[in-house]
Amino acid sequence: MQKTIKWSVFIASVITLSWFFAGWRQVNESGQIGDWAILVGGTLSTILLIGVQGYWIYFEEKAKGRLMKRVELFEKIKARLDVGNGKQVISPNTAVNVEDRGVKE
């Protein structure tokens, strides 16, 4: 199930990236409002989906102990999701020991 979701998000991000390029081409040709909608929609969707993939990769690397840099935005999102799922969160800073792995803060 997990791989299916990840592949679906990856495929969706490729599709939205193609919307960006199609929108860019259409804006340069005619510049109608619908063309701008495709461009903006493709851009925002691509950014969102790449952010989701980055979030997943960040926590996979963190679980493996290979985290090189701490991303505060992802940590805050994870803390909010954990609270929303009924998990008890002690502190978002306790998950990574920065002295052992050379993590840059």
Q: For the residues 22-39, what does the mean pLDDT come to?
A: 92
pTM: 0.71
Q: For the residues 27-51, what does the mean pLDDT come to?
A: 94
Quick one: which of 47, 43, 52 has its CA closest to 19?
43
d(CA 59, CA 79): 12
Domain segments of the chain: what residues?
1-64, 67-105
Which amino acid, residue 105? E
d(CA 46, CA 36): 15
d(CA 99, CA 22): 47
- What integer pLDDT is reported at residue 82 of this predicted model? 86
d(CA 44, CA 19): 10
Quick one: which of 26, 52, 56 has its CA closest to 41?
26
Q: In this predicted model, what pLDDT tens digit does every residue of 52-80 receive, in sequence order?
A: 999 999 999 999 999 889 999 999 999 98
